[in-house]
Amino acid sequence: MSVTGNEQRLIEFANVSKFYGEGEAEVRALDGVSFTVDDGEFVAVMGSSGSGKSTSMNILGCLDAPTGGNYFFRGVDVGTLTRNQRALLRRHYLGFVFQGFNLLKRTSALSNVELPMVYRRTSARKRRKTALAALDAVGLSDRVHHSSSELSGGQQQRVAIARAIATEPALLLADEPTGNLDSERSHEIMQLLRRLNEEEGITILLVTHEEDMASYAKRQIVFKDGHITSDTFSGGGSR
């Protein structure tokens, strides 16, 4: 599957809504949200819980479809894609980093990083080479054969980042990547993400509720009650 169109414009949210339930029980998680993200940006999506930031993350990650409006990824209307087509889009263009790391248990760091490439049908040799390089990039060359249970939280998250970047995704989605980590480990992870953005040019969308984490990004979008309340460029040079 190939996605073509406006090369610069990576993401366009056009009046996107997501409603749950019906009638009186209806919850408007997202209510007519519009914004765009270009290639190479590092955007922090902020807001308290229930603000709609997680819902927009799921839609951005093609895990969920909007109930109203359009989500264009590289000009393609994701809302018109089938479940399997969205899976292909994730496979080839997206990388995920989760709050809970979400590594496979009883599986080595190397195998975890190789997993997305297994679904890309990458040859075993290339998979291994790429995975080792990705683990090196996150500073875990010496933990390649450790299983996730043998790694600390910070190390696990770095494996997850290696897994996300090994496929050279067009967009890296990080959902509260520091939520389960202590302050020192959190800053290490954020520095790693910023370095990936600046040096590798990877577009990153970071969801967080912590302002000092969001300050690593060059742009901050703040959600409240399903609407965007502010969208500012800080330059991301605060640290």
Partner 1 sequence: MFFSTVFIAMREIRANLMRSILTTLGIIIGVGAVIIVVSLGNGATQQVQNDLSELGNNLLALVPGDQNQGSANRLVQMFTEDDVDAIREQVPSVLMVAPVLTQVVMAVNGNENYGSSVRGTTNDYFAIRNLDVVRGRTFTAGELRSGRPVCVIGETVRRELFGVQDPVGAEIRLSANSEVNCEVIGLLEEKGADTFGNDQDDFMVAPLAMVQRRLAGNRDVTLVFMNAVSDEAREDAIEGVTQLMRERRRVRDDQDSDFFIQDLKEVQAQIAQVTGIMTIFVSAIAGISLLVGGIGVMNIMLVSVTERTREIGIRLAIGAQEMDVLIQFLVEAILLSIMGGIIGVAVGVGVSYLAAGALGFPFLVSQEAVIIAVVFSGIIGIAFGFFPAFRAARLDPIEALRYE
The reply to whether 98 sits near partner 1 by the rule CB under 8 A is yes
Residue range at the interface with partner 1 (CB under 8 A); choices 25-33, 35-43, 115-123, 144-152: 115-123
23, 80, 121, 199: which one contacts partner 1 (CB under 8 A)? 121
163, 194, 218, 219: which one contacts partner 1 (CB under 8 A)? 163
Nearest Cα to 159, choosing from 199, 214, 108? Answer: 108
User: What is the number of residues in the chain?
Assistant: 239
Residue range at the interface with partner 1 (CB under 8 A); choices 45-53, 59-67, 72-80, 180-188: 59-67
| Cβ-Cβ contacts under 8 Å for 222 (sequence gap 6 or more) | 46, 47, 228, 229, 230, 231
Residue range at the interface with partner 1 (CB under 8 A); choices 4-12, 33-41, 67-75, 97-105: 97-105
Q: What is the distance between the alpha carbons of residues 195 and 55, in angstroms, rounded to a whole number?
A: 27
CA distances from 47 to 50, 56, 196, 210, 226 (A): 8, 11, 24, 9, 10
By rule CB under 8 A, what count of residues binds partner 1?
Answer: 28
The reply to whether 102 sits near partner 1 by the rule CB under 8 A is yes
The reply to whether 27 sits near partner 1 by the rule CB under 8 A is no
Find where tokens 């965007």 sit.
228
Residue range at the interface with partner 1 (CB under 8 A); choices 25-33, 45-53, 112-120, 189-197: 112-120
3, 14, 87, 144: which one contacts partner 1 (CB under 8 A)? 87
Q: b/e per residue, 142-180, with b = 16+ CB within 10 A?
A: ebbebbbeebebbbbbbbbbbbbbbbebbbbbbbbbbbb
23, 24, 84, 235: which one contacts partner 1 (CB under 8 A)? 84
22, 25, 80, 106: which one contacts partner 1 (CB under 8 A)? 106
Q: What is the distance between the alpha carbons of residues 81 and 63, in angstroms, rounded to a whole number?
A: 11
CA distances from 226 to 69, 71, 77, 207, 208 (A): 14, 16, 21, 15, 16
12, 30, 60, 64: which one contacts partner 1 (CB under 8 A)? 64
Neighbouring C-alpha atoms within 13 Å toward the C-beta of 13: 26
Q: Rank residues 3 and 115 by Cβ distance to partner 1 and give the closer one.
A: 115
Binding positions for partner 1, rule: CB under 8 A: 58, 61, 63-64, 83-84, 87-88, 90-92, 94-96, 98, 102-106, 115-116, 118-121, 124, 163
